[in-house]
Amino acid sequence: MIRRVGVVGCGLMGSGIAEVVARAGYDVVVRELSAELLERGLGRIDASMRRAVERGKLDEAARDAARARIRGTTALEDLAGVDLVIEAVIERMDEKKAVLGALDRIVAPGVVLASNTSSLSITEMAAATRRPDRVVGLHFFNPVPVMPLVEIVRGLATAEEVVAAMREFAGRLGKTVVVARDTPGFIVNRLLIPYLLDAIRVLELGVASREDIDTAITLGLGHPMGPLTLLDFVGLDTTYYIAEAMFQEFKDSRYAPPPLLKQMVLAGWWGRKSGRGFYEYG
């Protein structure tokens, strides 16, 4: 029975996950590396819940109750008593393995360790723990409170009962579940990343302006955002990490980050989060 959930990382994804889990009635312990990062992450949760109240998605009493269920910490050891952990740290295998290896020694033996990775191998992460059968992918989409999908990723060693437990848990969060095998990008990013990279190539080739590329896709295909706006929203750094990981695995040029993407990442133009990407943000 899941009552308390640990969330590791309170960035864009971790804060959204902590919010959604608390709004579904679970107690949440969320861990960040420093007090400053934690404060920023909890501030993001407050802002998002304020928006949900303004939009009539949440009443004030439910907001206050959800907020009271979230406890922040900078000590991973504070996750000792949780019934489920969801990690949402930076998209790098060495970091993921270090966190899961440490959690494996902190939380009780049967507890599921879920990763919000968008492209890295669950099987490889699981091998860094003594409970590979309890390690699973639980991939949320940005903005987490709004996007209704969760991808469950079954690693080579993931137990079927763990997939079933995550299916039930995601359902309680109000999410629709799809299940994928542990292959780079799973379902959504397998299709999304080549599309986003192609949009950058179209811009690089001078086929059209950034505005016209985005307008073409929003109005011509009915997408809520054009690809360059979506890249700024997801983060160019995150997209670059995902594309690199997929390219390393498949050695297929479709996944190779275009030079412009790499240059923008090196320049610190990471999209909305840094104030500049394909567009400028105030």
Residues that bind ligand CAA (CB under 6 A): 48, 51-52, 55, 57, 118, 141-143, 145-147, 189, 224-225, 230, 234
Q: Which of 15, 32, 115, 139 does the annotation list as catalytic?
A: 139
Q: Cβ 11 to ligand CAA, closest distance in Å? A: 12
Closest residue by Cα to residue 51 from 146, 173, 142: 146
Q: Cβ 233 to ligand CAA, closest distance in Å? A: 6
Q: Cβ 109 to ligand CAA, closest distance in Å? A: 30
Q: Cβ 105 to ligand CAA, closest distance in Å? A: 28
Burial class of 170 by CB neighbour count within 10 A (0 to 12, 13 to 18, 19+) = buried
Q: Which of 115, 118, 119, 121 does the annotation list as catalytic?
A: 118
Question: 203 with 211: CB under 8 angstroms?
Answer: no
Q: Is 142 considered catalytic here?
A: no
Complex with ligand CAA: residue 76 or 242, whichever CB lies closer: 242
End-to-end CA distance of the chain: 45
Complex with ligand CAA: residue 58 or 99, whichever CB lies closer: 58
| Alpha-carbon span 127 to 141, nearest angstrom | 25
Q: Which of 151, 244, 249, 274 does the annotation list as catalytic?
A: 151
Complex with ligand CAA: residue 19 or 83, whichever CB lies closer: 19
Complex with ligand CAA: residue 146 or 180, whichever CB lies closer: 146
Q: Cβ 274 to ligand CAA, closest distance in Å? A: 17
Q: Which residue is nearest to ligand CAA (CB)?
A: 118
Q: Is 118 considered catalytic here?
A: yes
Complex with ligand CAA: residue 123 or 229, whichever CB lies closer: 229
Q: Is 77 considered catalytic here?
A: no
Could you list the active site residues? 118, 139, 151, 189
